[in-house]
Amino acid sequence: MIVMKFGGTSVGSPERMKSVATLVTRSGNPTFVVLSAMSGTTNTLLEICDYLYKKNPDGANEVINMLEKKYLQHIETLYSTEEYKEKTRQFLVEEFNYLRSFTKDLFTSFEEKSIVAQGEIISTNMMTNYLHETGIDAVLLSALDFMRTDKNAEPDPQYIKEKLGDIMETEGDHLIYITQGFICRNAYGEVDNLQRGGSDYTASLIGAAINAEEIQIWTDIDGMHNNDPRIVDNTEAVRQLNFEEAAELAYFGAKILHPTCIQPAKFAGIPVRLLNTMQPDAEGTIVDNVIMRGQMKAVAAKDNIIAIKIKSSRMLLATGFLRKVFEIFESYQTPIDMVCTSEVGVSVTIDSDAHLTSIVNELKKYGTVTVDTHMCIICVVGDLDWSNLGFETLATDAMKDIPVRMISYGGSNYNISFLVKEQDKKRALQNLSAKLFK
């Protein structure tokens, strides 16, 4: 069985939904389909929540009414029979009355998660009704019945596998199984979610749970490109990536793939294919455990980086200095991207300024602190094993005319990273493309 995940853009209109229906049925083989909310819906639901947090039920109701009107219009375009128009209309009326019920009571983060979950619930119901109308054997499975996180807010793969297996056995054989991406229950049974990008994560978790042949992530881009097509001309889709390479690119800015979503697939040895709903016959990108030696694959960039340098003579020959520095970042739950050390100093990068002032104040106890903002990490990904003579030199040579604040190499066999000013990002990406791929 293949798992197919479609993002918000792919189901963003009735016409797109019809295209998705064609894609999921064209093979004629049993398929598990994971859907996001229609594009723009999650943001609108969050806007409703914002009004409710501000104790403005009138504002919330106005947004709810506009969203309801939009969906009711979709019904007229999506369905051809009065039977399914009316069936979906009744479902939507119940859904939006449910949203309105939140305007009358105390509003907390628990209610917010229930509201945000409705986007995926609406899109999957509409798609299932459309498939039924066209005579397709499809069944809707609620993700809230099997997708669960543990007390650490991490997915519980054993629970997911057992529950999903029981549900599919009870349901019997169908051509199409549909469920919601993103949403789940937490360890306490409350409605929760896998955070933004969580639909990819859902697909990967389901693929691992049912031992799928392949997990397909359908978006509006023809696979993962070897550079940012918004900045660099004539980029090309990378046809194959190792899981480690894909994770590096996803973390450092390639938005097509969520950084954590491929981990379950990686551990289960299930290939992930990135495909384009606008060009369904394009090859796309396959992500698997195969390592292709001697190739540079792609370049990605991560913006809004802050560099922090701590310089102290107390660090020289001292034990425990680095531990104290890292514990400060840990105490403020601020991850570090890059690290470079010398005899009397350490430089690190972070991508959030939420606790910057407090972190800097704590670091000043141990040395002189310098902060550089508006920085950018440029990440070059490929077979960068240290035994490959000259490979890192290709990347550094492309950067010879650009001021580089930090270089990170050797922490992984798959990347070399450069920290530069944001104003130098465009030139850096273009130079790297010219040197590595032309």
Q: DSSP 3-state assignment of 220?
A: coil
Average pLDDT, the chain: 92
Confidence at residue 313, expressed as pLDDT on a 0 to 100 scale = 76
Whether pLDDT at 255 is above 70: no
Q: What is the pTM of this model?
A: 0.87
Rounded Cα distance between 159 and 235, Å, is 42
Contact 226, 297 (CB under 8 A): yes
Rounded Cα distance between 40 and 47, Å, is 11
Q: Per-residue confidence at 41, pLDDT binned at 50, 70, 90?
A: very high
List, for residues 221-230, the tens digit of each pLDDT value: 888 889 988 8
Rounded Cα distance between 218 and 250, Å, is 16
Rounded Cα distance between 119 and 39, Å, is 9
Among positive and negative, which fits the CA dihedral 194, 195, 199, 205? negative
Confidence at residue 197, expressed as pLDDT on a 0 to 100 scale = 64
Q: Per-residue confidence at 254, pLDDT binned at 50, 70, 90?
A: low
List, for residues 78-91, the tens digit of each pLDDT value: 999 999 999 999 99
Least confident window among 45-54, 140-149, 253-262: 253-262
What dihedral angle (degrees, nearest 10) is formed by the CA atoms of 218, 224, 225, 230? 60
Confidence at residue 315, expressed as pLDDT on a 0 to 100 scale = 64
Q: Would you state the structure tokens that stand for residue 323, as one six-digit string?
A: 């531990």
Whether pLDDT at 317 is above 60: no
Q: Between helices 14-25 and 57-78, what is the axis angle to 10°? A: 50
Confidence at residue 389, expressed as pLDDT on a 0 to 100 scale = 75
List, for residues 371-423, the tens digit of each pLDDT value: 999 999 999 999 888 877 777 888 999 999 999 999 999 888 889 999 999 99
* 240 φ/ψ sector (left φ>0, alpha ψ -120 to 50, else beta): beta
Burial class (CB in 10 A: 0-12, 13-18, 19+), 283: middle
Whether pLDDT at 135 is above 60: yes
Residue range 345-370: mean pLDDT, rounded = 94
Least confident window among 270-284, 308-322, 375-389, 391-405: 308-322
Q: Would you state the structure tokens that stand for residue 253, as one six-digit string?
A: 């800015």
Least confident window among 294-298, 336-340, 367-371: 294-298
Confidence at residue 318, expressed as pLDDT on a 0 to 100 scale = 65
